[in-house]
Chains A and B, each alone.
Chain A
Amino acid sequence: MAAVIRTQGLTKSFGAVRALDGLDLVVEQGQVHGFLGPNGAGKSTTLRILLGLLRSSGGVAELFGGDPWRDAVELHRRLAYVPGDVTLWPNLTGGEAIDLLGHLRGGIDTRRRAELLERFELDPRKKGRSYSKGNRQKVALVAALASEAELLLLDEPTAGLDPLMERVFQDELVRVRDQGRTVLLSSHILSEVEKACSVVSIVRAGRIVESGSLAELRHLSHTHVVATFADGRVEETSVAPEEVAGWVSGLGPGVVNLTATPPTLEELFLANYASEPAQGDRS
């Protein structure tokens, strides 16, 4: 499969601060790729470099095989972007903002637009200044999802959405995936990535620290096993997945209940970040 996004040794410095420190990221065509990391890890900086808004300080960044800085306009016809912190024009309505962004990208699917407005329960006639944070986010989501872009770059897209609307977003994400489109979804909300993403890259302090399918990543962490005995005795442990069988067979008789929980992404996250102390968060 062709790589839609490829960065190699990507660096970006803002003065003395090094926001990206040799970031290697590959997103294949058709992947819904989770881009996970704590605040200030470099997620937004990476997206902005891929959008040609920032110029990289070093390394390689490729989008559809092109240079995101030099070929920005051509490449942007093929992608849609939802910024992390959506601000709208105070005196334009949400509907006008959706149409504007859609047309600048090269067209908008009117039927999809209407459908999405209904699903997200968004009133397009309100002025930008009177939308709440969640509603501003919806405006950006509708504008991006109503496009026919091959690639969606989503920067923490559910920030400010209520749980119901998060469900709607997850459904839409599945739909996009089923259409074979590519998504790079940056987030620090693990459950959101776990549901929709097939591949995950974890970024920390400007570097990718883990990357792979969820199954591969789970492999890296320990499974939690709890055994309950007839006499009420409880034994538990965390072992590597391949050692579960050995531990269980060593328990002896009297086991009435046995649970083995694969690690959640939450635990993966903690395992990765608890191992090294935080190096001063930047945002």
Chain B
Amino acid sequence: MSGLTGTGTLLRLAARRDRVLIPVSALALTALSVGSAQATVALYTDPETAMAELGPVLNAPSTMAMYGPATTTNLEGLSVFKTLLMGAVFVGLLAFAVVRRHTRVEEEDGRLELLGAGVVGRQAPLAAAVALAVLATLVTAGLSVLGFVAIGFPARGSLAFGAAWTIAGLTMTGITAVAAQLTSSARGAAGWAVGALALLYLVRAIGDSATTDGGRVLRWFSPFGWASQVFPFGKDRLWLVLPALALAAVLVGVAFALLERRDLGAGLFASRPGRARAPRGLLSPAGLAWRLSRGGFVGWLIGFGLLGLVFGGLVSQVDSMLGDENIQTMLAQMAGVPVDELLSSMAAVYAATMVRFMTVAAAAAGVIVVLRLASEERSGRTEAVLATAAGRTRWYAAFTSLALVVAAVLILALSALMGVRGHAALAAAPTAGDLLQGAAEAIPAAWVCVGVAALLTGLSSRLAPWSWAVLGVAFVLGEFGPTMNLPSWLVDSSPFAHVRAYPFGTWDTANVVVLTTIAFVLVVAGALAHRRRDLG
């Protein structure tokens, strides 16, 4: 029996189990990319008006960091500029989810053991998972290519767009395959893989907002840099798929090599014996919620802290991004403001954009904590806890209040560090105080997402995973709604649309109060639903 025996059967099984996830993701991502491209094309009749309107936005340092550089000036190129890299991240996350689901999750739940006892080779599950992830990537990228061709975009450029998404999908397939071998828990594998994705995106962002040629080289160290450098509807560098293919092949090879060296169920890092007695801090629902979320939170906090420092460094470079003093003076005269004011508003836009964007990530961190409630319930551990004198509401409150604190602390840490570092290097940049006030505006938006997750979990543990769909839709509406020309009531239904980007925008107390109230109403409604229903 070869190590790959049974791969075909497992692939069909995995495809059947993902028969909703993959098609829905592929269609949603295609709708996002093709839909927003069509809306942009309909909005502007010719490239000149589009450039006149979009030009300043495209060349702003904050845009470069977020979405990568735009070098094409034709309408097609401009229309996919925003969705190219954001969509690539989602394709990468889809590949990650597929690989993790069919390797480490299966192994942790013991189903792989059941299969392993049958006529299934040792390498077959990983091979099937990788094959399905590659398939999902190709289907998603392929649908977008067809969509662009269908709305009349050039075929070669459409293919290039698909190539950029394929680069991301292949890379994350390889990374997740390796991550699934490293740790003995599915959560650990998720931490490694998503952490790697964030790091690669950050490396590209730093490279793209660098002001020296030496700094710009960094973008080539990240597959997301390759994806943006494909420049669909411009240079159409289809060949950039090749390095991604090579990288994925190497990573998958490494994963198989690691697989050969470990036992079923074990990771490369073995788990060590722990304490025989529980520390005092663990002995309450809140203590348990904190203990279960602690590791993940520390990881998020380090990530947000580092990003705060990096963004702070980038904020302070807005003056050199704007060119030399003569250009700055000229631009300031055009805008009718002193140079200082121009610089400070550019820095404020940059900082506020970063805070706004990272709010979505902070909301995700909070949602993860709330969803613990659902996974505790499904595993049967909730039953053991609630058979003791710990009441339902205390149990629910332990996780939801921790989730609210986690989301807030992450945004505060990011803002404070960005302000301290940025203002120290450039006096015109917003201070930590300014940015903390901006954070106070962003936090309630993240809380609303946490509140939705709490309500869904309160209603039923089976509804809980839909929190991710709600978060995804809220992000897309807030970020792309305006460019997709959607009706304002729809865009405004996203909490992220109400983050007015202080200190650049205006401060609106009522806005903050309303969002906070909505968040708390959602959490309380979830608690009431949770009290009334069957558990377990």
Contacts and interface: CB of A to CB of B under 8 A. Distances in A.
A binds B: yes
Interface of A: 48, 51-55, 72-74, 76-77, 79-81, 83, 85-93, 95-101, 103-106, 123-127, 129-130, 140, 153
B278 A95 contact: yes
Q: How large is the interface on B (under 10, 10 to 19, 20 to 34, 35 or more residues)?
A: 35 or more
B386 A125 contact: no
Contact of B536 (A48, A88, A103, A106): A48
Given A53-B535, A53-B536, A100-B288, A127 B274 contact: yes
Contacts of A105: 388-389
A78 B346 CA distance: 65
Given A92-B291, A100-B283, A129 B271 contact: yes
Contact of B282 (A54, A100, A126): A100
A96 B288 CA distance: 10
Contacts of B390: 73, 104
Contact of A103 (B274, B283, B384, B533): B283
- Residue from the set A92, A104, A106 with the largest chain B CB neighbour count within 10 Å: A104
Contact of A124 (B185, B276, B389): B276
B433 to A, nearest CB: 39
Contacts of B535: 53-54
6 contacts: A51-B383, A72-B386, A76-B389, A87-B379, A95-B278, A125-B274
Contacts of A99: 277-278, 282-283
Nearest to B394: A73
Contacts, number: 120
B292 A54 contact: no
Is chain B's interface secondary structure helix, strand, loop, or mixed overall?
Answer: loop
A50 B103 CA distance: 39
A125 B273 contact: yes
Contacts of A53: 383, 386-387, 534-536
Interface string B520-536: 00000000000011111
Contacts of A140: 384
Contacts of B184: 129
B299 to A, nearest CB: 14
Contacts of B273: 93, 123, 125-127
A90 B185 contact: yes
A73 B292 contact: no
Contact of B276 (A74, A93, A130): A93
A125 B384 contact: no
B272 to A, nearest CB: 8
A126 B535 CA distance: 29
Contact of A93 (B275, B392, B534): B275
